[in-house]
Structure 1
Amino acid sequence: MSSAQADGTALWPPGTVYLQDACATGSELILQPRPTDDPNDPLNWSTRRKYMNIGFVCFYVAMVAEFINAATPTWGPMNKELGFSYEILNDSYAAGCACLATGSLILIPFALKYGRRPLYLFSTVLQFALSIWSAKMRTVADLMLINVLQCFFGSLAEAIVQMTIADVFFVHQRGRMNAIYVWVWLLSSYMGSLIAGFVAKGQGWRWVWWWNAIIFGIAIILVGFGYEETKFYPSSTHNISSTGLPENEAVPSKESPGGLVDEKSAPGGQQHRLNAESADLESKKVSHEPLTDAAGAVRINPNIPRKTYWQKLAITTTTRSAADTNESYITHIWQPLVLLVTIPAITFGALVYGILVGLGDVMSATMSTYLPQEPYSFTSDQIGLMHLPRMIGVTIGALIVGPLSDWFIVWLSRRRNGIYDPEMRLWCIVPFLPFVPAGALLFGIGLNNHLPWPIIAVGLVLYNIGVTPIDSIIVTYLTDSYRDIIGDALVGVTVVRNTFSTAFIFAMTPWIATIGLKWVLVTILLIACAILMFFGVFIRYGKTFRGHTASRYEYYAARQYKDRAAS
């Protein structure tokens, strides 16, 4: 689907918005999505309040990621004390990956219905209890059940955070925030393994989990008394904030939640009026963005009372579904799978995220399995130190891509008369693509051929310099393109992402025995490169794909639980 034309006959696909007012002095940014006039709207929160809230979320993410990945340096001591074979330990890791794939499928509908806060809080309390159980582990049944439950509820950290970011931050801020999320997730995964290695050697492997219990206890207090609900459910009396447009000239925009449509100036305005036969038909149309609605100051309605501290900490924020049906929860379980196979961007994002995380998980498992053996004979703390190169790579990638992608889309939209397409972000991925095969090959060949460990470490640095920007941008691309269904979309991504990890880890031991470690990693890398090549296709045709699937997107957006997107 083409860009909006001057004659106003073209409809814009979901995700395409006006990001800058080219007529305003200094090309003023337009806030997308448009906030309401309610002071309790998370989009209207102060910068300090937004960052404090996302800080609590990042702490939760850090602890969940650490819990999932801290076990690998303890495998050696557990093997000696409890007699768990490395095959059983690998299988426990794979079982956890399977639950990461299915957990969000069951749990995210609760976050859509009852809000983000109860899920964050319940998951934190459960992780605390599982940490104590882990410290007292004795049997293979303990090992498997802990991994299953921890990953099932920990899967929330892979989908609910992007929902929180979309709740609180504008389009031109999401690249930086998603880069921070990916950085926290990966850094904590690697740092958890590093610290766990030293704790296992110095205090014993059980103390890895006692320390987890202590820190999760702190997290319960922080999340319980600090994190505010970001799910916003405006009443019908709330208006979309504007900068002077008369209320009778604007209607809510479905393409950009909370946006405005000025029928006299919006692209496609004439066609919009001709097709607006009824309110129901109007709500299902692909929407249009304003030409002249500058960002300006948000007008807050002084008659709307601000929530008290205890109201902000309400356990649930329950909303009805847009269709007001009793089957909505069941619908949200299978709906992500439908979106996964019918919307190309979601399919592609899931494959990219899945293959890169799956390859990274294989690298983690092979390190924990082969580095303790000859000729390296690494101890648990030395294996932990091998995650330091990964932390360096993740940090370099995040520091570059976060500010870069947000700056780039503003700069490029200015050159296109203020029009923003989500595919603009994908250009920022191109410089990082070569780092993925370079790092993976250096790691695989180095470990297989018993080359000096610094070569393996350099491979880990390069791989993570490439992976971090790619992961953060693909998640931001999906958020910008399909915000109204982002919860369901990311559940589908999570299913595929962890399916890759589960399949690779379960198959790793017999696969390596058949063709060797080097060729296993090369095979996975070839699959990754084949998937990554499609970035060019989406840079060129992504907008067309969004246009062709616009009606499907609008249909599923209308079936979401009623919040800002459905108001």
Structure 2
Amino acid sequence: MLPGDSHHRGSGSPPGTVPLEDLQRSVSGVIILQPKPTRDPNDPLNWKIWEKYLNFGLVLLYSLLVFAFIGAATPTWGPMNIELGYSYETLQDSYAVGSAALCIGALIFIPTALKFGRRPIYVISTLLQFGVAVWFAKIQTVADLMLVNAFSCLLGALAEVIVQMTVADIFFVHQRGMMNSIYVWIMVIGSALGPLAAGYVTTSQGWRWVWWWMAILFGISFVLFLFFYEETKFLGCIDGLTPVNHAQREDSAGSQGNMKGEELEKELDPEVGERMSQLNTPNIDPSISRKTYLQRFSLWSSSPGSLMFFLRHIYQPVIVTFAFPAALYVAVVYGMLTALWQVMITVVASVMPEPPYNFTASQVGLMSLAPFIGTTIGSVIVAPLSDRLVLRLAKRNGGVYEPEMRLWILLAFAPLVPAGTLLFGYSLGNSQPWYLVALGYGLYGLAMGPISSTSLTYLTDAYTNIVADSLAGVTFIRNLFATIFVFALTPWTASVGIQNVFLTMGIIMAIILIPGTIAVLYYGKSIRCWTTDRYRQYSAL
């Protein structure tokens, strides 16, 4: 049982609290599917497993290319400095411009995904990224540099939100930890191995070919999404009676279920209640036909909504972030974690080509192997562990799952973040051997993957219905942090030195991750109870 869990047993449950195992069916318990799938075979929760994995595989490819596109620039800075005369301060500023664009990209485009579906966003954004990559390959002026960073990141912001929307669309609660761990690992592959590949391409073919290769890959991705990515936004009906979408399905099932699930059935129509108590496999209605290929791969699928719908979902994510403490907690944790990651990337790219390291573009790229190896190890440990842990803890809690159960993993890896940050900053600031810098970089990566995936899954599970708004807000805060830190990096470093910059950031991360997470472990459920009515209000919008 979670600390503080007993305070709310008995009455209704807060959002995110769901029965996950029926311990009365067997000794080991039978997994209860959350959210409850409808009987419609077109419901993405009812898709065949290969269909889910095909869609998710394409989404991972999209994420890989987007994060590689954002990160691939840093190894090209040295040659760009020589050929085009860009100063390293200008190059750092261009990275900060990209971070600022990442802040607002999700706020601009996510309302479109909510109204017209995920498919048009993936298809159109890959086509636009193809065009930006061609532009990047031909840049000549500082204005070009700033604009391509702005546009690539404006579009790239989608990968930080729409992937979580897709995960919530097609996977159940007991599967999301694994899927988010894979997503974060792919994100790090793009962010870490993208620069590595870019370094070798820069050395062998010239820095402009980095962007020609990105254009080729985005072109291939566009074709794959056009012909193979099926829409996951579900608009169907329960037993042909009441139109529902994903959020309504979850609201009628997960967020109103109680600790054992019996009271849920009393609140619903008996027939619906009987169906929703089905365990382990969806109960599909054979009279409902699967859509044709052309219907399933239509470019968009509109849902009700007006101009006010768009406008509301542009500003609402920021309100949601501050209205729900869980969203604010994830925004600060994930935001600071990835902002520090971006600061490390820019520092390596700007400091290590200079004496005493004198790294080439390919050597700068090789430094990204350290966090990649660290994150891979962390992901291998956590990906299978996360969902198994919550099933075990739910079983100990009478079969009831609380989203805070995932945070024990976050707490276990938290000390590695300040440790890696301090070792990285001290080694680089005092011109220590490169392998000490890499070791700090790797320790940070070892913690970053598990903490990122755990925090994102916690938010998705706690507030599934408003996952788009909450994650758009998280992305805004995260990239706001990154923009501030990257813009401030040059004068801050000049004032106090690299080692003191990272000392300060290490202390901040330790405070956020350890006392902050302990507080959420103890009081998270009470806070979710407090925000239940607010959650239902925003779910209906």
Q: TM-score under structure 2 normalisation?
A: 0.94
Is 1:107–2:109 an aligned residue pair? yes
Could you say which residue in structure 1 is the equivalent of 2:391? 410
Could you say which residue in structure 2 is the equivalent of 1:283? none
> Residues 257 and 216 of structure 1: is their aligned pair in 2 closer, same or farther, counting only changes over 3 Å?
farther
> Residues 38 and 260 of structure 1: is their aligned pair in 2 closer, same or farther, counting only changes over 3 Å?
farther
Question: Which range moved further: 518-527 or 101-110?
Answer: 518-527
Could you say which residue in structure 2 is the equivalent of 1:515? 496
Could you say which residue in structure 1 is the equivalent of 2:457? 476
> Residues 134 and 21 of structure 1: is their aligned pair in 2 closer, same or farther, counting only changes over 3 Å?
same
* Correspondence list, 1:244-393, <5 A: 256=251, 258=253, 266=261, 293-321=277-305, 326-393=307-374
Could you say which residue in structure 2 is the equivalent of 1:543? 525
SS at match of 1:235: strand
* Correspondence list, 1:138-287, <5 A: 138-235=140-237, 237-238=239-240, 256=251, 258=253, 266=261
| 1-structure distance, mates of 2:538, 2:276 | 30
> What's the offset of the Cα at 1:430?
2.0
User: Contact between 2:339 and 2:481, CA under 8 Å: does it hold in 1?
Assistant: yes
The one-letter code sitting in structure 1 at the alignment partner of 2:104 is: T
Unaligned runs of 5+ in 2: none
| 2-structure distance, mates of 1:351, 1:17 | 26
> What's the offset of the Cα at 1:296?
3.8
Deviations 1:132-155 (A, max 9, x none): 111111001110110111100110
SS at match of 1:234: strand
> What's the offset of the Cα at 1:486?
0.3
> Residues 87 and 290 of structure 1: is their aligned pair in 2 closer, same or farther, counting only changes over 3 Å?
farther
- Runs of 4 or more off by more than 2 Å in structure 1? 1-6, 235-240, 252-270, 289-294
Could you say which residue in structure 2 is the equivalent of 1:284? none
User: Contact between 1:13 and 1:543, CA under 8 Å: does it hold in 2?
Assistant: yes
> What's the offset of the Cα at 1:265?
7.6
| 1-structure distance, mates of 2:468, 2:75 | 33
> What's the offset of the Cα at 1:506?
0.5
Could you say which residue in structure 2 is the equivalent of 1:564? none
SS at match of 1:327: helix
User: Contact between 1:61 and 1:157, CA under 8 Å: does it hold in 2?
Assistant: yes
> What's the offset of the Cα at 1:268?
5.6
| 1-structure distance, mates of 2:15, 2:258 | 18
Is 1:554–2:529 an aligned residue pair? no
Provide the alpha-carbon RMSD of the alignment: 2.4
The one-letter code sitting in structure 1 at the alignment partner of 2:427 is: G
> What's the offset of the Cα at 1:35?
0.5
| 1-structure distance, mates of 2:153, 2:81 | 22
| 1-structure distance, mates of 2:264, 2:455 | 31
| 2-structure distance, mates of 1:463, 1:423 | 23
Q: What percent identity do the matched residue pairs reach?
A: 48
> What's the offset of the Cα at 1:269?
6.6
| 1-structure distance, mates of 2:152, 2:79 | 21
> Residues 263 and 543 of structure 1: is their aligned pair in 2 closer, same or farther, counting only changes over 3 Å?
closer
| 2-structure distance, mates of 1:556, 1:135 | 43
The one-letter code sitting in structure 1 at the alignment partner of 2:202 is: A
User: Contact between 1:4 and 1:268, CA under 8 Å: does it hold in 2?
Assistant: no
User: Contact between 2:17 and 2:254, CA under 8 Å: does it hold in 1?
Assistant: no
* Correspondence list, 1:454-469, <5 A: 454-469=435-450
User: Contact between 1:36 and 1:239, CA under 8 Å: does it hold in 2?
Assistant: no
Deviations 1:72-100 (A, max 9, x none): 00000000000001111000000000000
| 2-structure distance, mates of 1:292, 1:210 | 51
SS at match of 1:534: helix
| 2-structure distance, mates of 1:269, 1:55 | 35
> Residues 4 and 314 of structure 1: is their aligned pair in 2 closer, same or farther, counting only changes over 3 Å?
farther
User: Contact between 1:265 and 1:291, CA under 8 Å: does it hold in 2?
Assistant: no
> What's the offset of the Cα at 1:297?
3.2
| 1-structure distance, mates of 2:93, 2:526 | 42
* Correspondence list, 1:390-539, <5 A: 390-532=371-513, 533-539=515-521
> Residues 356 and 259 of structure 1: is their aligned pair in 2 closer, same or farther, counting only changes over 3 Å?
closer
